Structure 1
Amino acid sequence: MKVADFHCDVLSKMQNFGDIDFRKDPRLDVTAERLAAGNVDLQCFAIYLSERGGKLGFERILGQIDLFREKVVRSEGLQWLRWKEEVESQVLGGSSAGMLSVEGVDGLEGNLFYAQLCFELGVRFLGVTWNYANWAADGVLERRNGGFTEKGRRLVEWCNQSGMLLDVSHLSPSGFWELTELSDRPFIASHSNAAAICGHPRNLADEQIKALIAMDGRMGLTFFPWFVEDGGKAGREDLLKHIEHVCSLGGERILMFGSDFDGIDTWVEGLEHPGKYPEFAELLLRHYPEELVSGWLYGNAMTFLGENLPSKKSKHSPA
């Protein structure tokens, strides 16, 4: 079965360690060889700026975009998925594709022109925060649980106008609810699980999941053990509890996966890298109908992109 994975942190690792080979480097969870082995037809590559690399500035975002273009697209032949019109050909075609997102807008430095440049250079999702506050909003670990700043609200308005999509994984609960009022379009949580099953603050409460269902957004279950099981030790069977719970809320059509490979330092047993997806698919098929499983692995994500990515024909004015 085809797979769409909505979150990995390969580019950050490649920027921090300049000699990494994307094709098969053992320091990576996600490699070109493992994507092929796992039948991963679409991989979303996050641009995450770790403090290890120094200042969280826009030049580092540009550096990761360049790494994606040179080391992933040109060197390994992945297609670059950017437009609504490309989704159908991707679903019907035989080649694998990649997308770009930004995880935490810190590196945009509060400058909407930088956001516009990211869009023009092929970024299609913005995760507003990482875990803590930045110029746009509070992250989920910020104790005050604030929402959006004035600049952050202007960023959302720009996203509504430009076609840039939004990702609420890492956003504070207050920010989540504020975004439901500010955003004209559905948004996603690219790598978050169900808080009712595992109480980590990065996971989504039932009311948040219901809000995603109501707007026809998407929720990517993630493979970081601390988000799967309280105590941080988990096997792939434990993800079934999260699937069951989201489905019990009526969310079978919003589920997808966002592994967080290369952004984690411990792994769900049996899901250590994307080459393990076929075994995970077999597990899912032992418990659920093929129609649902194929939706969770691929179809739900691609349907969302087909409905919500910007069109090549639309006009995108500068910020």
Structure 2
Amino acid sequence: MNIIDLHCDVLARMHKAKGKISFKDSTDLDVTYEKLKQGGVLIQAFAIFISPSIKSDQKFQAALDQIHYFYTEVIGKTPNMIALKSWDDFDRLKKGQIGAFLTLEGVDCIGNDIQKLSILRELGVLSIGLTWNNANLAADGVEEERGAGLTAFGKEVIQFCNENNILSDVSHLSEKAFWDVLDLTHFPIASHSNSKTICDHPRNLTDEQATHLFKKNGLIHVIYNPPFVTEQDSATISDLITHIDHFCSLGGVGQIGLGSDFDGISEKVIGLEDASMHPALINELLIRYSEDEVKGFAYKNFLDRRPGRKAVPQYYSGEGVFFQR
């Protein structure tokens, strides 16, 4: 079964290693070309994440460096990896190709210069989260004690996203900022978050947040990070599926997806340690859900709700396009 994964941190790993990691087959990465093929992941989102430890005047260059690695290492050295720079590009993938697109995890790198977002959009960024866990000039992250919402600049960022068909990612926001974004955004998504009812972690979403995301046609992509999955010492695939079960109980069966956070997490769900192991998750889902529902979780829910989608999703828009009916 085809899979769309909305979050991995390969680019940050490459940046830290100054590009001395092979995306094709490195044993140091959870997500590689070979592991994507083995796992049936046919579209992978690559986050641009700038560590808070990087000096402010170096952050935009660090973002550009990560984009450089995306195009030279991920795309350039693996001919079957295809850069997706627009939502229509998703319909043009051919059999044997793997799509890849850029997301931005926190707008720290642009300072207060909204024009820098135009540069990032031209380079292929299709989803923007305002913060990581810290605060910046746009909003407070989930670990900022004051818990403030959007600033005036943050509202400009959401308006930019709306005008440019870019997803607004709420996964790392403070709760106040979450509600501010939901009031303004046309295209909400939680790219890698779980249910706080199931696991009481600050990065997870309350039932009220999840319900309102669903009401606004938003998506929640579950994350494989064990501390977000269970309060026990280790997490299983069954524990992860409990979050999908709960979101379904809130009416979200058609709005759930996958957001692994591979290469950004140090602990792993047992049996789901890297991108090659996605079939284990799919097989367990098929025991509990219909094939159509599992296709939704794996890829179809995202395709149906991407910005600018066709009225009828074009899964067979060209000869050899890989998406299953």
TM-score, structure 2 as length reference: 0.91
Alignment correspondent of 1:193: 194
TM alignment of 1:81-100, pairs within 5 A: 81-90=84-93, 93-100=95-102
Alignment correspondent of 1:317: none
Q: Residue 177 of structure 1: which of 179, 183, 198 is its match?
A: 179
CA RMSD of aligned residues (A): 1.5
How far the C-alpha of 1:127 sits from its partner, in A, is 0.9
TM-score, structure 1 as length reference: 0.93
How far the C-alpha of 1:188 sits from its partner, in A, is 0.3
Aligned residues: 307
Asked whether the 8 Å contact 1:16–1:53 carries over to 2, the reply is no
Alignment correspondent of 1:225: 226
Alignment correspondent of 1:17: 17
Alignment correspondent of 2:254: 253
Alignment correspondent of 2:132: 130
SS at match of 2:7: strand
How far the C-alpha of 1:227 sits from its partner, in A, is 0.2
Tell which deviates more after alignment, 44-53 or 129-138: 44-53
Asked whether the 8 Å contact 1:3–1:42 carries over to 2, the reply is yes
1:85 maps to amino acid: D
1:73 maps to amino acid: I
* Distance of aligned partners of 1:191 and 1:116 in 2 relative to their CA distance in 1, 3 Å threshold: same
Tell which deviates more after alignment, 189-198 or 93-102: 93-102
Asked whether the 8 Å contact 1:42–1:96 carries over to 2, the reply is yes
SS at match of 1:75: coil
* Distance of aligned partners of 1:127 and 1:306 in 2 relative to their CA distance in 1, 3 Å threshold: closer
Q: Is residue 7 from structure 1 mapped to residue 7 from structure 2 by the alignment?
A: yes
TM alignment of 1:26-175, pairs within 5 A: 26-51=27-52, 54-55=55-56, 57-77=59-79, 78-90=81-93, 93-175=95-177
How far the C-alpha of 1:144 sits from its partner, in A, is 1.5
How far the C-alpha of 1:303 sits from its partner, in A, is 1.7
* Distance of aligned partners of 1:17 and 1:54 in 2 relative to their CA distance in 1, 3 Å threshold: farther
Asked whether the 8 Å contact 1:2–1:298 carries over to 2, the reply is yes
How far the C-alpha of 1:162 sits from its partner, in A, is 2.3
Rounded to whole Å, the distance in 2 between the matches of 1:22 and 1:53 is 24
Q: Any gaps of 5 or more consecutive residues in structure 2?
A: 311-325
2:181 maps to amino acid: L
2:27 maps to amino acid: P
Rounded to whole Å, the distance in 2 between the matches of 1:291 and 1:248 is 17
Asked whether the 8 Å contact 2:187–2:307 carries over to 1, the reply is no
1:182 maps to amino acid: L
Asked whether the 8 Å contact 1:88–1:306 carries over to 2, the reply is no
Asked whether the 8 Å contact 1:105–1:129 carries over to 2, the reply is yes
Rounded to whole Å, the distance in 2 between the matches of 1:308 and 1:84 is 7
Alignment correspondent of 1:312: none
* Distance of aligned partners of 1:32 and 1:52 in 2 relative to their CA distance in 1, 3 Å threshold: farther
Q: Any gaps of 5 or more consecutive residues in structure 1?
A: 310-319
Asked whether the 8 Å contact 2:86–2:124 carries over to 1, the reply is no
1:81 maps to amino acid: L
Asked whether the 8 Å contact 1:186–1:212 carries over to 2, the reply is no
How far the C-alpha of 1:82 sits from its partner, in A, is 2.0
Alignment correspondent of 2:323: none
Alignment correspondent of 2:269: 268
